[in-house]
Amino acid sequence: MSGRPDAMLEWVAKGTAAFEAEVHSATDASLSRPSGLPGWSRAQLLAHMARNADALLNLLNWARTGVETPMYASPDQRAREIEEGARRPVGELRADLFRANARLAEELAALPGACWEATVRTARGREVPVREVPWMRVREVCVHAVDLDTGTSFDDVPREVCAALLDDVAAGFRARTDIPPVGLRAEDDGRTWFLGVPGAAPLLVTGDLPSLAAYATGRPVPGPLHGRGSVPKLPAWL
């Protein structure tokens, strides 16, 4: 595969617009309250989203120039910038996020086609083609829109993004011995994703795509899940 990942770039644009709409509609006071992500305030989430946009922009610059540019200088720098950003007045925090989103969108649109296959390295040390960067941002905007806990649920996440999230989780959780063998079957899609050690008889959990994606990513499940007995708790994702 080569050239611009146009479909994924469209997901980035739509997901970013939905996230920004949530931030626009929230009051200043509400953005200082706890989010749905344990230990995080909504202001911390906004600061994280702004700095993540800049971190992904670093990877695009790396692909464009060939000069190694890590997402973050260090984990400590990442944590410090989130805390510093969260202490800013909410109006400044909103504006910072929107500017960071615009910078990322501009560079995504301008990146030459030949650069999309360049290899870069994520903050976790994984080497990937830069064409994975748009998906990395889709995950952030869609999942953290739910984490803001201002009314968005996985029912509001596009079905195709829910399916892609399940692909992502299954790839990360496949063959892990700390996860009971689980099969996730989408009633509205027909596909099944397997987690845990292959070959063992899995516990089958069924539900619609949004509910399965929420369950797999450890977020509030908007609809019913069905399985034999209780649905097992999964380890943290990302």
Task: Indicate whether 122 and 204 sit together in one domain.
Answer: no
Locus of tokens 């990877």 = 59
Task: Indicate whether 139 and 30 sit together in one domain.
Answer: yes
What rounded mean pLDDT belongs to the chain?
A: 95
Task: Report, as an integer, the average pLDDT of 17-30.
Answer: 96
Task: Indicate whether 18 and 134 sit together in one domain.
Answer: yes
Task: Indicate whether 87 and 195 sit together in one domain.
Answer: no
Task: Indicate whether 173 and 134 sit together in one domain.
Answer: no
Task: Indicate whether 145 and 190 sit together in one domain.
Answer: no
pLDDT tens-digit readout, 157-171: 999 999 999 999 999
Question: What is the domain count for the chain?
Answer: 2
Residue 233 maps to a domain: no
Task: Indicate whether 146 and 166 sit together in one domain.
Answer: no
Domain boundary among 119, 152, 185: 152
Task: Indicate whether 138 and 179 sit together in one domain.
Answer: no
Residue 1: predicted pLDDT? 47
Which of the four pLDDT bands, split at 50, 70 and 90, describes residue 228? confident
Residue 2: predicted pLDDT? 59
Task: Indicate whether 35 and 147 sit together in one domain.
Answer: yes
Task: Indicate whether 22 and 90 sit together in one domain.
Answer: yes
Domain boundary among 152, 183, 199: 152
Task: Indicate whether 132 and 21 sit together in one domain.
Answer: yes
CB atoms within 10 A of CB 99: 13
pLDDT tens-digit readout, 39-86: 999 999 999 999 999 999 999 999 999 999 999 999 999 999 999 999
Segments forming the whole domain that contains residue 89: 6-152
Please state, in angstroms and rounded to a whole number, the distance separating the CA atoms of residues 56 and 53.
Answer: 5
CB 210 within 8 A of CB 157: yes
Residue 237 maps to a domain: no
Please state, in angstroms and rounded to a whole number, the distance separating the CA atoms of residues 24 and 12.
Answer: 18
Q: Which H helix or E strand runs over 134?
A: helix 133-147
For residue 59 the two structure tokens come to: 């990877």
Which of the four pLDDT bands, split at 50, 70 and 90, describes residue 32? very high
Task: Indicate whether 128 and 200 sit together in one domain.
Answer: no
Residue 62: predicted pLDDT? 98
CATH of the domain at 107: 1.20.120.450
